[in-house]
A and B are shown apart, each in its own frame.
Chain A
Amino acid sequence: MDFYEQSQEGRSIRHHLERNVFLVLFNHEIRSGFRNPLQRGWIAAILFLGSLLTLGSKNLEAISALLVLFIFFGSIVTLVLSSFSISGEINRIADSLLSKSVKRWEYVLSKTVSQAVIVAVVYLLGVLLQVGILWRLNFLPELLDYGNLFFFIMLVGLVLIFFSSAGVMFSSLFSRTVLSLLSGFIVWFLLVFLFLATGWNFMYSPVEIFEHFLPILEGSWDVEFWKIILFYAGSSCVFSLVSLLWFYQRDL
């Protein structure tokens, strides 16, 4: 039976989407990502703490407090979830899928993109919901530059995507999830915890970005932002490329 030549009639968008292996895998990853108990717990925590902060402080501080949560804890949750993405499936589902008509780039790219999308959706939903409520209730300052606020939100989003891509890369590099988790934590330690604990200044650290929350909103932080954007966006692209190239030649 040749399945692939059948059903010539009524080819809908859905039909084409269902025949694209990358989109099928992406769709599957998104669904299982949101079913993950850790992800669900994190979403519940964000919604609970976000509403507490919003109703508690009733001003801009609520947003900055929620962003702190995302920078310090959201990055860890992202790292943990993405570190499991590939190494957790080797000798299990990965073998099963790659023995079928799935190409390696489709598999890795679906992991990288879906992890980034999940992180971005959870983050943006949480933060934008809070901003929306504060704005609706007139709790935000009248002179607030919303352009700068959304620029800051985007910067933190890039930081989270950076950690998500790093996690997928380590997950692709190592067969053992423990090693990919450990590598992710080392990156987190060097980029976040180290600067938080020592107070050292490093333009590319998320701590430094967060400490300049008000100057960014006021537009007074004198720094070349393109370098920061390039660092996070470029690193994410490099991580994705490394995971793709490494996975392409590795034994399963």
Chain B
Amino acid sequence: MQSVIETQSLTKIFNQKTIAVNDLYLTVPENSIYGFLGPNGAGKTTTIKLMLGLIRPSAGSVRMFGAPVRMDSSDVRRRIGYLPTQPGFPDAMTPITYLDFIGKVFGIPRQVRIPRITELIRSVDLLPLSSSEIKRFSTGEITRIAMAACLINDPELLILDEPTLGLDPIGRASTVKLITELGNREGKTVFVSSHILADIERFCTHVGIINSGKLIFNGTVTEVKKLIRTNTVELQVEGKTESFLSELEAIPHITNVQSLRHAIRISIDPQYHSETLLDIFKILIERNLELVSLNLGSETLEEAFLDLLEEEKSHGFLRAISRRA
């Protein structure tokens, strides 16, 4: 699969003091919805600004659609739609005049621009407000108009910086729906930065996790979950469990069985995770035991994310030393 965004050893140091982005290698495949995760101050917005050529890298490079990105790469940016965290608008502009201005900036001819503006205003549900001044808009309405502006040039790549920040649950849901539709139905590549893990888990196909300017994971959502999957399974069963425990111990790839107060904790050889689980279920059926609950370890992206951050914190120093050696 071709990559739309590719960074190599991307580094940004501000005022020779703060390392905002540190040796970042990132690949965003075509037609993917890429979630860029990280805590506040991790370097997400700086990375996006580097990608767009808004700031100059201290080292390394960015390539988009195979072409290098520089401060004046307007041809590359013509193919991108960018939604900043807090979009700014010129004073005294309405959605129509603003979108018309942005359309002109992109050099879109009038006969294409006008129908496109109408279509976008309708699709972001701003028709009743189309003649009102943007400065009077709520956060949700501002996000919607900014989203329309970043779609006016029908971009192949969308870069969205914290698109759900400050939105109420309804606004958040509609933004999530719009991103999912753009990625799945329109076939656009979407790069979305966020620290709201539930959103990312809902619509992203790929994920990159950044912490203190360093990319600690880059891959699919399934891969990130698999990576931190614990080898322990916790079962809660009802019925006669005495013989069940000894039968579990007899399964070849189970390394340990612990009987807790309300549950049974089973340690499994990670290489045979699925087969062993199947064996456990077979015994449950044969013994006619009722499975009350089953915990397969880290199930949510949130847990995966926190585990990775924790791991990075504890191993970061060791990794730095081993690399130097």
A100: CB under 8 A from chain B? yes
B291 at interface by CB-CB < 8 Å: no
Answer whether A100 and B106 are a contact pair too, CB < 8 Å, given A1-B154, A251-B56: yes
Using known A-B contacts A3-B109, A7-B111, A101-B77, determine if residue A93 contacts B90 with beta carbons closer than 8 Å: yes
Would you list which residues of chain B between 47 and 104 have a CB under 8 Å from chain A?
Answer: 49, 52, 54-56, 71-72, 74-75, 77-78, 80, 82, 84, 87-92, 101-102, 104
In contact, B72 and A7 (Cβ under 8 angstroms): no
In the bound complex, residues from chain A placing their C-beta under 8 Å from that of B77 are 99-101
Complex CA distance for A32 and B93, rounded to whole angstroms: 10
Chain A minimum-CB-distance residue to B78: A101
Most buried by B among A18, A96, A102: A96
Q: Which of A18, A25, A104 contacts B109 (CB 8 A)?
A: A18
Contact with B along A91-132 (1 / 0, CB 8 A): 111011111111111000000000000000000000000000
Task: Give the residues in chain A near B111, CB-CB below 8 Å.
Answer: 6-7
Please, which residues of chain A bring their CB within 8 A of the CB of B89?
93, 96
A28 on the B face (CB < 8 A): yes
A4 contacts the other chain (Cβ, under 8 Å)?
yes
> 1/0 per position for A1-45, CB-CB distance to B under 8 A?
101101100000011001101001100100010010000000000
Place the interface of chain B in its size category.
35 or more
A249 within 8 A of B: yes
On whether the beta carbons of A104 and B71 are closer than 8 Å, the reply is: yes
Q: How far is the CB of B103 from chain A (nearest CB, A)?
A: 9
Contacts of A98 in B (CB 8 A): 52, 54
A to B CB contacts below 8 Å, 10 in the list: A3-B109, A3-B112, A14-B110, A18-B107, A19-B109, A92-B88, A93-B89, A100-B105, A249-B71, A252-B54
A252-B49 contact given A93-B89, A100-B102, A101-B78, CB 8 Å threshold: yes
- Whether A3 and B74, one on each chain, are in contact in the complex, defined by CB atoms closer than 8 angstroms, is no
B230 to chain A, nearest CB (A): 42
A61 CB-CB contact with B under 8 Å: no
Knowing A24-B101, A102-B74, A252-B49, say if A95 contacts B112 (CB, 8 Å): no
Chain A residues contacting B153 (CB-CB under 8 Å) are 3, 100-101
Q: B92 — nearest CB in chain A belongs to which residue?
A: A35
